[in-house]
Amino acid sequence: MKRNHHSKEFENQALIKVRERGDKSVRTVAQELNMPEGTLRKWISKSNQKDSLTTPAATLPVDVAAASWSPAQRLLALNETHALTGPDLHAWCREKGLFEHQLKVWREAFCTPAAQHTRESSAALRELQAKNDKLQRELNRKEKALTEAAALLVLQKKYQTLWEGEEK
């Protein structure tokens, strides 16, 4: 298998092309660059990790999709847009590559009381406990049936051995 060693310049240009690909897939960009898709994805992953380590959480990313923003970055966006309305808000969203509905969803998630989360989690916990209890009962029933079947097999072997001994 032949390995291609690409220069850093090529890697950087490939990453720029991927970030500006529009509606093209990563596979399509990799084919255009005549390189393996896995290598390109590895470069993207490495670049994203490096960006997340070097970019402080208190700054808003420029070339990263809003869905992958950290909670601290989302909070910062909410703080910056809190007083904005109308055209100012739309201009800010265009500049940052966001939609207004994303900010609303983030605000709702941030402002949801913790008590509601605990009620939901306790209900989920009760449901899981009930399921666990049901599975435990089923497991115990099957263990008893297996024990009974094993005892019957032992008795059957003893019975056969007993009758074989009398035939001789």
DSSP string, the chain: -------HHHHHHHHHHHHT-TT--HHHHHHHTTS-HHHHHHHHHHHHHHHHHHS-TTS--SSS-GGG--HHHHHHHHHHHTT--HHHHHHHHHHHT--HHHHHHHHHHHHS-HHHHHHHHHHHHHHHHHHHHHHHHHHHHHHHHHHHHHHHHHHHHHHHHHHHHHH-
Q: Could you tell me the residue range of the domain that residue 136 belongs to?
A: 113-168
Q: Please count the structural domains in the chain.
A: 3
Q: Which of 39, 54, 69 is the last residue of a domain?
A: 54
Q: Which of 32, 54, 76 is the last residue of a domain?
A: 54
CATH of the domain at 14: 1.10.10
Per residue in 60-110, pLDDT (tens digit) is 776 667 777 777 888 888 888 888 888 888 888 888 778 888 888 888 888
Determine phi and psi for 152, rounding to 5 degrees.
Answer: -65, -40
Q: Is residue 64 domain-shared with residue 48, that is, in the same domain?
A: no
Q: Is residue 70 domain-shared with residue 95, that is, in the same domain?
A: yes
Q: Is residue 89 domain-shared with residue 107, that is, in the same domain?
A: yes
Distance CA(54)–CA(50), nearest Å, equals 6
**pLDDT category of residue 157 using cuts at 50, 70 and 90:** very high
For residue 51, the model assigns a pLDDT of 65
Q: Is residue 49 domain-shared with residue 64, that is, in the same domain?
A: no
Pick the more confident residue, 101 or 165: 101
Distance CA(77)–CA(95), nearest Å, equals 12
For residue 130, the model assigns a pLDDT of 95
Per residue in 26-73, pLDDT (tens digit) is 888 888 888 888 888 898 888 877 766 555 555 777 666 777 777 788
0.85 exceeded by pTM? no
For residue 115, the model assigns a pLDDT of 58
